[in-house]
């Protein structure tokens, strides 16, 4: 039984969110997305010519994502450099963003998205996707929709949203399901499951993810509006 969340939140309650555009001046677009104690910064470079040339696609531009957790983002120092985990998350981030961007006007070019996790308390791939989507919009990359992402899951006997690290480590069992959505198109672009859930539980969790993505979208939208308000 998981009758009360460790941090006192409701089961459908997200941690406090914050988003900011234009946090990396040297990038073509950038954003910070914070949810609870998880902080992601995304920087976009491009479109620019893709090298080596044999990797170019003459029909459309290429989206390339790199996810990295900074060494000091968790208590136990992380070894710098790529890992199996960071390669997997880079790939799923790319796939989660791809349906939202339209790179048909940029043949042979690449748009690079660098996601840096500055501070981690679970849900980093989702925070990274939220930041990356904002950074792409900030860079002026043509987009069909925003991408919102959140982790839902089952802790003990409860379906809930936005698990923190304590919940992910819950002794009596935890299933973690990161979801990314294109809210305007009602499409899912990322769905992973670490653990076990019944079919009905997955449906309930997906419904919760959809409602939560609407709240995330509002935070993203406000951040973009803030940028244009300030010229
Ligand atoms: O971060 P996310 O939930 O997307 O991915 P995960 O691989 O399920 O990692 C869950 C959490 O474990 C991270 O957010 C970190 O808080 C923590 N972690 C860690 O402490 N050390 C690592 N090398 C990797 C993850």
102-141 confidence digits (pLDDT tens):
999 999 999 999 999 999 999 999 999 999 999 999 999 9
Tens digits of per-residue pLDDT, 200-215?
Answer: 999 999 999 999 999 9
- Testing ligand 1's pocket by substitution, the residue of 87, 116, 168, 179 carrying the most ligand atoms inside 8 A of its CB is 168
pLDDT value at residue 19: 98
CA–centroid distance, 85 to ligand 1, in Å, is: 9
pLDDT-derived band at 172 (thresholds 50, 70, 90) equals confident
- Testing ligand 1's pocket by substitution, the residue of 165, 176, 191, 193 carrying the most ligand atoms inside 8 A of its CB is 165
pLDDT value at residue 229: 84
Query: Is the distance from the beta carbon of residue 124 to the nearest atom of ligand 1 less than 6 Å?
Result: yes
pTM of this structure: 0.97
Specify the residue for token string 């959505």.
181
CB 67: neighbour CB atoms within 10 A?
27
CA–centroid distance, 164 to ligand 1, in Å, is: 10
pLDDT tops 70 at residue 225 = yes
Beta strands in 89-226 (DSSP E): 109-119, 148-155, 158-161, 174-182, 187-191
| Structure-block tokens of residue 70 | 């900074």
User: Do residues 152 and 216 lie in contact, with contact meaning Cβ atoms separated by under 8 Å?
Assistant: no
Cα–Cα distance for residue pair 225/67, rounded to 1 Å: 26
Specify the residue for token string 């990322």.
190
Query: Is the distance from the beta carbon of residue 28 to the nearest atom of ligand 1 less than 6 Å?
Result: no
Query: Is the distance from the beta carbon of residue 123 to the nearest atom of ligand 1 less than 6 Å?
Result: yes
Cα–Cα distance list, 171 to 30, 154, 160, 166 (Å): 38, 12, 16, 9
Cα–Cα distance list, 72 to 77, 79, 80, 159 (Å): 6, 10, 10, 31
CA–centroid distance, 205 to ligand 1, in Å, is: 20
pLDDT tops 70 at residue 231 = no
CA–centroid distance, 120 to ligand 1, in Å, is: 7
Cα–Cα distance for residue pair 188/226, rounded to 1 Å: 27
CB 15: neighbour CB atoms within 10 A?
18
CA–centroid distance, 124 to ligand 1, in Å, is: 7
Query: Is the distance from the beta carbon of residue 193 to the nearest atom of ligand 1 less than 6 Å?
Result: no
């Amino acid at each position: 039984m998981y009758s009360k969340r460790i941090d006192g939140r409701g089961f459908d309650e997200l941690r406090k969110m914050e988003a900011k555009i234009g946090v990396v001046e040297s990038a073509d677009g950038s954003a910070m997305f914070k949810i609870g104690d998880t902080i992601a910064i995304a920087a976009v470079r491009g479109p620019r010519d893709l090298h080596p040339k044999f990797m170019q696609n003459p029909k459309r531009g290429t989206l390339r994502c790199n996810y990295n957790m900074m060494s000091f983002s968790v208590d136990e120092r992380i070894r710098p450099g790529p890992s199996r985990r960071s390669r997997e998350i880079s790939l799923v981030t790319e796939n989660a963003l791809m349906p939202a961007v339209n790179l048909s006007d940029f043949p042979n070019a690449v748009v690079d998205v660098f996601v840096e996790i500055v501070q981690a308390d679970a849900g980093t791939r989702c925070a990274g996707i939220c930041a990356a989507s904002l950074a792409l919009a900030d860079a002026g990359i043509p987009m069909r929709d925003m991408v919102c992402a959140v982790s839902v899951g089952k802790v003990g006997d409860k379906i809930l949203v936005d698990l923190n690290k304590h919940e992910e480590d819950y002794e009596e069992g935890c299933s973690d399901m990161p979801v990314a959505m294109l809210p305007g198109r009602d499409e899912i672009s990322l769905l992973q499951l670490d653990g076990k859930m019944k079919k009905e539980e997955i449906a309930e969790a997906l419904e919760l993810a959809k409602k939560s993505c609407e709240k995330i979208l509002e935070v993203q939208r406000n951040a973009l509006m803030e940028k244009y308000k300030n010229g």
